[in-house]
């Protein structure tokens, strides 16, 4: 049974890379744009990580935080990019074994290029910009990382790392992924005290200061991501009136993986019977849905309203 599920996972993974139904030009352009934006975000992420975090002797969360600790503990002999790539690769293999095809190609793309950019920036940037102000470095670095990660999320990207750990744990335990990631980051940043105190010979005060700066990075990063992503996490209701309502409903159901309801309607002026497509999607999915509606029927009449609360499968749990 497990062999069959593994085979299906591999098949669906390659199907995602090379879909049986060829993409049209507009879809290809959007995919190319998303990869360009994600790659640019990864470059910014790596720059902020090296310039403001690593060069200022600060530790961030996630796999890059673990890689940074290894970099410090080894006397700067193990590059952050290489160790982060190895750790992410191991987590990906474990994730594929346990979760199957839970990761898209964009996750693998992000893991590779983030490690690549970190390695490049580490070779180019040797000194911090704000050498005398590590607190400001933590704030600016955290804000840039949050900006890059939040934007990449909106384009379907993911940096992997502790996200994979969160998916594995939440499969077997009833705990939210966000809480798992928070606990992981707290452990990683807190362990920097041990590295700086025992391995680097810093005083307890200096080691504690590194931990506090790490918490500043984590807080600013999370807040910035929330500003960019959570604003788009709210939901919207969509009512679409179109002669091609079947195609639009099929698109929302199969491509966006959202529930669709067809409502019976009658035009007051035309007196014609028709169907109206009703769907609820996340706000960050709205633009993609609108673009696809335009591809199918440019003359479709679409109404979008803010949903104050959406509960059920795919949204918030009703408590």
Provide the pLDDT for residue 278: 93
Check whether residue 215 and residue 240 sit in a common domain. no
Q: Helices 204-225 and 134-154 sit at what angle, rounded to 10 degrees? A: 30
313 in a structural domain: no
Mode of pairing for the β-strands spanning 273-282 and 260-266: antiparallel
Check whether residue 25 and residue 40 sit in a common domain. yes
312 in a structural domain: no
The gap from C-alpha 138 to its chain's centroid, in whole angstroms, comes to 21
Distances (CA, A) of 122 to 42, 80, 109, 116, 128: 14, 8, 20, 10, 11
CA angle 38, 154, 147 (to 5 degrees): 70
Least Cα distance to 152 among 203, 113, 200 occurs for 113
Check whether residue 167 and residue 244 sit in a common domain. no
Give phi and psi for 172, each to the nearest 5.
-105, -15
Last residue of a domain, one of 170, 202, 232: 232
315 in a structural domain: no
Check whether residue 46 and residue 60 sit in a common domain. yes
Provide the pLDDT for residue 17: 52
Paired strand residues for 261:
278
Check whether residue 222 and residue 293 sit in a common domain. no
Provide the pLDDT for residue 215: 94
Check whether residue 226 and residue 241 sit in a common domain. no
The continuous run of DSSP H or E covering 92 comes out as helix 80-99
User: Around 62, how many Cα atoms within 13 Å sit in the side-chain half-sphere?
Assistant: 25
CA distance 22 to 27: 10
Check whether residue 196 and residue 158 sit in a common domain. yes
CA distance 122 to 102: 31
Provide the pLDDT for residue 309: 63
Residue 29, Cβ density class (10 Å: 0-12 exposed, 13-18 middle, ≥19 buried): exposed
Distances (CA, A) of 201 to 72, 193, 276: 12, 11, 69
Check whether residue 160 and residue 244 sit in a common domain. no
Give phi and psi for 159, each to the nearest 5.
-95, 5
283 in a structural domain: yes
Contact criterion met (CB below 8 Å) for 198 and 212: no
63 in a structural domain: yes
Check whether residue 191 and residue 286 sit in a common domain. no
Check whether residue 272 and residue 191 sit in a common domain. no
Provide the pLDDT for residue 22: 62
Contact criterion met (CB below 8 Å) for 200 and 72: yes
197 in a structural domain: yes
Check whether residue 184 and residue 160 sit in a common domain. yes
Contact criterion met (CB below 8 Å) for 165 and 184: yes
Last residue of a domain, one of 173, 198, 232: 232
CATH code at position 287: 3.30.70.120
Cβ-based neighbour number of residue 125 at 10 Å: 16
What is the tally of structural domains in the chain? Answer: 2
Contact criterion met (CB below 8 Å) for 42 and 111: no
Last residue of a domain, one of 201, 217, 232: 232
Distances (CA, A) of 77 to 68, 72, 80, 81, 82: 11, 8, 9, 12, 11
Check whether residue 108 and residue 57 sit in a common domain. yes
Q: Which domain holds residue 204?
A: 2-232
80 in a structural domain: yes
317 in a structural domain: no
pLDDT tens by residue, the chain, 319 residues: 455 555 555 555 555 555 555 667 777 888 888 899 999 999 999 999 999 999 999 999 889 999 999 999 988 889 999 999 999 999 888 888 887 665 667 788 888 999 999 999 999 988 878 778 889 999 999 999 989 988 887 787 777 777 778 777 877 877 766 678 888 889 999 999 999 998 888 899 999 999 999 999 999 988 888 777 666 557 888 999 998 999 999 999 988 888 899 999 888 888 888 889 999 988 778 888 998 999 999 989 999 887 766 666 666 665 4
């Amino acid at each position: 049974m497990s062999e069959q599920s593994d085979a299906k996972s591999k098949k669906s993974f390659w199907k995602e890379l090379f879909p049986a139904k060829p993409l049209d030009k507009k879809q290809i352009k959007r995919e190319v744009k998303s990869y360009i934006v994600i790659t640019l975000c990864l470059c910014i992420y790596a720059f902020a990580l090296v310039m403001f975090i690593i060069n200022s002797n600060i530790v961030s969360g996630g796999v890059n935080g673990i890689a940074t600790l290894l970099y410090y503990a080894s006397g700067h002999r193990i590059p952050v990019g290489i160790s982060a790539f190895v750790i992410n690769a191991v987590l990906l293999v474990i994730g594929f074994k346990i979760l199957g095809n839970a990761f898209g190609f964009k996750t693998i793309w992000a893991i590779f290029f983030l490690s690549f950019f970190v390695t490049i920036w580490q070779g180019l940037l040797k000194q911090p910009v704000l050498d005398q102000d590590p607190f400001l470095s933590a704030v600016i670095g955290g804000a840039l990382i949050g900006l890059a990660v939040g934007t990449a999320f909106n384009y379907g990207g993911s940096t992997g790392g502790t996200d994979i750990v969160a998916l594995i744990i939440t499969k077997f335990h009833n705990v939210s992924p966000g809480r798992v990631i928070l606990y992981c980051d707290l452990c990683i940043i807190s362990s920097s005290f041990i590295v700086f105190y025992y391995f680097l010979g810093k005083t307890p005060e200096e080691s504690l200061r590194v931990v506090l700066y790490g918490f500043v990075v984590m807080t600013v990063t999370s807040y910035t991501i929330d500003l960019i992503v959570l604003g788009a996490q709210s939901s919207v209701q969509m009512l679409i009136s179109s002669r091609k309502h079947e195609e639009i409903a099929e698109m929302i159901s199969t491509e966006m993986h959202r529930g669709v309801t067809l409502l019976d309607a009658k035009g007051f002026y035309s007196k014609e019977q028709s169907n109206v497509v009703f769907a609820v999607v996340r706000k960050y999915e709205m633009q993609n849905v609108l673009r696809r509606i335009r591809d199918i029927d440019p003359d479709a009449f679409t109404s979008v309203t803010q949903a104050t609360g959406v509960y059920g499968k795919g949204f918030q749990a009703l408590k």
